[in-house]
Amino acid sequence: MSKLPLWLRIAGNSAASLILGFLVLPILAVVPASFNKASFIYLPPRAYSGVWYERFLEDVEWRTSLLNSLQVATLATVVAVILGTLAAIGLRRLEGRWRAGITALFLAPMIVPVVVTAVALYRSALDVGLSGSILGMSLGHMILALPFVVINVGIALRGVDENWIKAASGLGAGPWTVFRTITLPNITPGIVGGAVFSFITSFDEVVVAVFLAGYSNKTLPVKIWESIRLEFTPVIAVAATMMIVLAIVLFLVAQLVSSRREISTQ
Amino acid sequence: MKNAGLPLRLEGVSKRYGTYTALTPTDLSVAAGEFLTLLGPSGSGKTTLLNLIAGYLEPTSGRIEIGSRDVTGLPARQRNIGMVFQSYALFPHMTVGQNIGYGLAVRGVPKAESARRVAEVLSLMQLEGYANRPIQKMSGGQQQRVALARALIIEPDVLLMDEPLSALDKQLRRAVQLELRRLHQEHGRTTIYVTHDQEEALVLSDRIAVMDRGRIQQLGSVDEIYDRPANAFVAGFIGESNLLPAKVNDMAGGKATAEVEAFRRTMVVQAAAGVEPGQTARLLLRPEHLLFNKTDDGVPAEIVETVYLGELSQYSLALESGHVLTARQITDRSLRKGMKVTLSWDPIHARVVPEN
Ligand SMILES: Nc1ncnc2c1ncn2[C@@H]1O[C@H](COP(=O)(O)OP(=O)(O)OP(=O)(O)O)[C@@H](O)[C@H]1O
Ligand SMILES: [Mg+2]
C-alpha cells in the first residue's frame, strides 16, 4: 500500500470514506431523528427531546412488540446455536463429498429468497397450528439463523486439532467429557459469533415475521413496517435506534470474546 | 510412579485402507519394562502400528493384548496407555498443571491428591514452579516434557511415543534423549518409541524393530540388527553399508557360495536366513571392515575420493569392475586420491543377505 503514489492513496482513501459514509450515514440519521421534539421527523431536528422514547415505552403495542422480538430472537438463537453446533460437528466428521453436499443444504436458507422461505413457512405453520405464534416465528427465524451458526462453528472447529481429541480420550475421557473439556472451550468464540449473528438475523427480520406474526404477536420490525404506512412519527426512529444500539452492543460482545481468546492463545 | 508397566502382545494385527495395506499382519511381543523402538522410513507404518496399539485405529485383523487383557475391541480411553504425540497435542486453553492433571481429573481423582501428584511429576521432569503457566508460554523442550508428564501421570501400562523429539533442535534433542533414558532406567515402563533417527534408536532402545512397507523387516537388539541384518533393506537402513549383487550358487551349513561380480570371483560367505540357491542376493561389507593391504593380496582398487571426518576418514574406492565401495578408517595421510591399493576383510564380517 505504501508503495502507491501519494495522489492515488489520497484518491483511494477518499473513495473508501465516501462509500463508507454512503453506507452508514443514512442508518445513523435515525438516531438524531429519534430525538425530535415535533411530531414529524425533521432532519436535523428543529428542537431536541426524549419525548418519543417516553411515548414508545408507554404504548402497549410498541412495548409488546419489543418484548416479542426479544423473545423470538432469544428462542431462535438458542435453538439455532444448539442445532447448528451439532450440525457443524457432524459435518466435520463426514467424508469430503458428503460434507460438501450436506453443507450446501444447511446453507440453503441464506441463498433461497427469504420470501420463498416465508411463503413455505406460512403454509406449513397453518398446517401444524403454529401460525401467529411466538414459537412459529422463532422456528422460522431459527432456519434463517442456522447457516450463520454452522459457518461460524465450522470455522472454529477447524482450529481444534484432532490430536487434542485423541490425547484426551487416551487419557481416559469419554466422548462427552472430551467435548465439554476440550472441544467446547476452543470453539466458544465461534459459538458466540454464531449466536450474535443469529440474534441479529432474527431481531431485524421482517419478511418471515410479517407472514407468521398474525394480529397479536407482532415483532418490532413488523410493528415499524405497519406504523410507517399509517403515520411517519419519530417513534419509528426510536424503535430503529433501539435496534441499532442492540446490534452494536452484540457485535462488541462478540469482538470482546474473540479478542480475549486470541490474547490467551498467543 | 514405580510401575514397570505390562507386557504387550500383538497377534496377526493388520490395517488396510481400501486396497492399500498400511500394516501387513504383524506379530509382536514386548516384555514388561522393555524399551522398543520402531525405526523406518516415512510411510512404513510406524504411526499406524502405534495408533492400533493405542486404540485410535481399529485393526483390520488380529488381536492385541496388554498384560493378560484382550484390548482389541476397547476404545482408547479404556486401555490405560500413555501417548506422546509428535506435535505434543497439549491443550492450548489449559495451564501446564491442568494439562498434566487432565488424566487424573477425568478419573475423578480428588483435587488435593491430583495437585500433589502433578507437583511430583513436575519435579521429576524438572519443571517445578511451572504449574500455573499457560501452555503457550513454554518453550519447545518444556512442552515436550509437559507432554511426557501428562502421559506418565496416569501410570500407563504401556507408554507410546511417536517421534516425540522431532520438533526439537539437535542439541536439545540429545539432552532429552539422555533424559528419556534416565527416566526409563529409573522407572522402566514398557515403552514403544517411534523415530526416523537411527542414532536416537541406538541410544535409547533395548530392541529395535526396523519397518518398511507396512512390515517389520527385523526385530532384534541393536547388535543383532547391525551385525546380522536380515535383509538388504535393514543393512542399508542401519549404518553405512556396501551392498554388492551376489548370485548364490549353493548353500551349505549357513554359508553361501556366491558369485560376486564386483570382485569377479566366487566366494564362500556366511548367509542370513532366507538366502536360497539360484537367488540374486547382496553381499554386505560395512565400510569400517574394509582393510587396506600393503601387499598385493586382495582386491585391487583405486582411491577416487577421500573425505576427512577428523579422526576417521572416508574413502571411495573404484574396483576394476567399475563398482565403487566406501571404506572408513583411522585417518592415514599417506592414502591419497589416485593411489592403487588392495582391499581385504575378515570373513566373519562379510555376509550375504536376501534382497528383501
Ligand atoms: N486414513 C488413511 N487412509 C489411507 N491411507 C492411509 C491413512 N493413514 C495412513 N495411510 C497410509 O498408510 C501408510 C503408513 O502410514 P504411517 O502414518 O503409519 O507411516 P509412518 O511410518 O508413521 O510415516 P512417517 O514416518 O512419515 O510418520 C502411509 O503410506 C499412509 O499414506
Ligand atoms: Mg508417523
Q: How far is the CA of B47 from the centre of ligand 1 (A)?
A: 7
Nearest CA to ligand 1 atom 25: B42
pLDDT for the residue numbered B27: 97
Banded model confidence at residue B75, pLDDT cuts 50, 70, 90: very high
Q: Does the fold of domain B232-354 match that of domain B8-227?
A: no
CATH code of the domain made up of B8-227: 3.40.50.300
Report the number of secondary-structure helices (H) and strands (E) in chain B. Answer: 8, 20
CA–CA gap between residue A110 and residue A150 (Å, rounded): 12
Side-chain-facing half-sphere of B251: CA atoms under 13 Å: 19
Cβ atoms of B244 and B285 closer than 8 Å: yes
Q: Which of B:75-134 have CB within 8 Å of A?
A: 75-77, 79-83, 85, 87, 89-93, 102-103, 106-107, 134
Q: Which of A:169-208 have CB within 8 Å of B?
A: 169-174, 177, 181-182, 185-186
* Closest listed ligand to the CA of B45: 1
Q: How far is the CA of B14 from the centre of ligand 1 (A)?
A: 13
Nearest CA to ligand 1 atom 3: B17
Buried b (16+ CB within 10 A) or exposed e, A145-171: bbbbbbbbbbebbeebbebbbbbbbbb
Place of cell 412495548: A63
Q: Chain B contact for A166, CB < 8 A?
A: yes
pLDDT for the residue numbered B248: 93
How do the domains of chain B map onto residue ranges? 8-227, 232-354
Facing residue for B89 by CB, picked from A163, A264, A266:
A163
Mutate to test the pocket of ligand 1, among B23, B38, B39, B44 (most ligand atoms within 8 A of CB): B44
ipTM higher than the 0.90 cut: no
Banded model confidence at residue B356, pLDDT cuts 50, 70, 90: confident
Enumerate the residues of chain B whose CB falls inside 8 A of the CB of residue A169.
Answer: 75-77
Interface test with B, best of A161, A162, A165, A171 (most B CBs within 10 A): A171
CA–CA gap between residue A23 and residue A32 (Å, rounded): 17
CA–CA gap between residue A76 and residue A199 (Å, rounded): 7
Interface test with A, best of B102, B135, B148, B161 (most A CBs within 10 A): B102
pLDDT for the residue numbered A97: 86
Identify which of B195, B254, B214, B213 has the alpha carbon closest to the alpha carbon of residue B38: B195
CA–CA gap between residue B148 and residue B158 (Å, rounded): 13
Enumerate the residues of chain A whose CB falls inside 8 A of the CB of residue B87.
Answer: 161, 163
> In chain B, what is the straight-line distance between the N-terminal and C-terminal CA atoms, in Å?
43
Calculate the alpha carbon distances from B37 to A57, A68, B3, B162 in Å.
75, 66, 20, 10
Calculate the alpha carbon distances from B323 to A11, B111, B302 in Å.
72, 69, 11
Q: How far is the CA of B228 from the centre of ligand 1 (A)?
A: 28
Q: What is the DSSP letter of A181?
A: I
Q: Chain B contact for A123, CB < 8 A?
A: no
Minimal Cα–Cα distance from A152 to chain B, Å?
Answer: 19
Banded model confidence at residue A266, pLDDT cuts 50, 70, 90: very low
Identify which of A168, A244, A213 has the alpha carbon closest to the alpha carbon of residue A61: A213
Enumerate the residues of chain A whose CB falls inside 8 A of the CB of residue B162.
Answer: none
Test B106 with A186 for CB contact under 8 angstroms.
Answer: no
B15 pocket-lining for ligand 1 (C-beta < 6 Å) = no
CA–centroid distance for B138 within its chain:
29
Place of cell 459459538: A191
Atom of ligand 1 nearest to the CA of B23: 14
Enumerate the residues of chain B whose CB falls inside 8 A of the CB of residue A163.
Answer: 85, 87, 89
CA–CA gap between residue B2 and residue B70 (Å, rounded): 24
* Closest listed ligand to the CA of B43: 1
Q: How far is the CA of B45 from the centre of ligand 2 (A)?
A: 7
How are strands ordered across the β-sheet holding B61-66?
B20-30, B8-17, B61-66, B69-70
Place of cell 497435542: B89
Q: How far is the CA of B217 from the centre of ligand 2 (A)?
A: 17
Cβ neighbours of residue B273 under 8 Å, at least 6 residues apart?
Answer: B230
Q: How far is the CA of B143 from the centre of ligand 1 (A)?
A: 25
Kindly tell me if the per-residue pLDDT of A112 is higher than 70.
yes
The predicted model gives A64-91 an average pLDDT of 96
Q: Chain B contact for A156, CB < 8 A?
A: no
B47 pocket-lining for ligand 1 (C-beta < 6 Å) = yes
Interface test with A, best of B52, B106, B133 (most A CBs within 10 A): B106
Place of cell 542439541: B171
Banded model confidence at residue A175, pLDDT cuts 50, 70, 90: very high
Cβ atoms of A128 and A113 closer than 8 Å: no
Kindly tell me if the per-residue pLDDT of A262 is higher than 80.
no
Share of chain B above pLDDT 70, in %: 99
Architecture of the domain whose range is B232-354: Beta Barrel (2.40)
Cα dihedral B126, B161, B67, B13, rounded to 10, equals 180
Banded model confidence at residue B239, pLDDT cuts 50, 70, 90: confident
CA–CA gap between residue B193 and residue B201 (Å, rounded): 8
Q: Chain A contact for B345, CB < 8 A?
A: no
The predicted model gives B83-92 an average pLDDT of 94
Test B89 with A169 for CB contact under 8 angstroms.
Answer: no
Enumerate the residues of chain B whose CB falls inside 8 A of the CB of residue A95.
Answer: none
CA–CA gap between residue B23 and residue B77 (Å, rounded): 23
Structural domains of chain A ordered from first start: 55-265 (1.10.3720.10)
Q: Chain B contact for A90, CB < 8 A?
A: no
Beta strand extents in chain B (DSSP E only): 8-17, 20-30, 35-39, 61-66, 69-70, 81-84, 158-162, 191-195, 207-212, 215-221, 242-252, 255-260, 265-270, 280-285, 291-293, 299-308, 312-319, 324-330, 340-344, 351-353
pLDDT for the residue numbered A150: 96
At residue A216, what is the residue type? S
Cβ atoms of A81 and A73 closer than 8 Å: no
pLDDT for the residue numbered A2: 60
Q: Work out how many CB contacts closer than 8 A connect A with B.
A: 66
Q: Omega of the bond prior to A44 within 30 degrees of 0, cis?
A: yes
Test B87 with A161 for CB contact under 8 angstroms.
Answer: yes
Kindly tell me if the per-residue pLDDT of B198 is higher than 90.
no
pLDDT for the residue numbered A265: 47
CA–CA gap between residue B348 and residue B356 (Å, rounded): 22
pLDDT in tens, B140-183: 889 999 999 999 999 999 999 999 998 888 888 888 888 888 88
Mean pLDDT over each residue of chain B, to the nearest integer: 92
Enumerate the residues of chain B whose CB falls inside 8 A of the CB of residue A182.
Answer: 91
Burial zone of B182 (CB within 10 Å; 0-12 exposed, 13-18 middle, 19+ buried): exposed
Cβ atoms of A237 and A36 closer than 8 Å: yes
Kindly tell me if the per-residue pLDDT of A258 is higher than 60.
yes
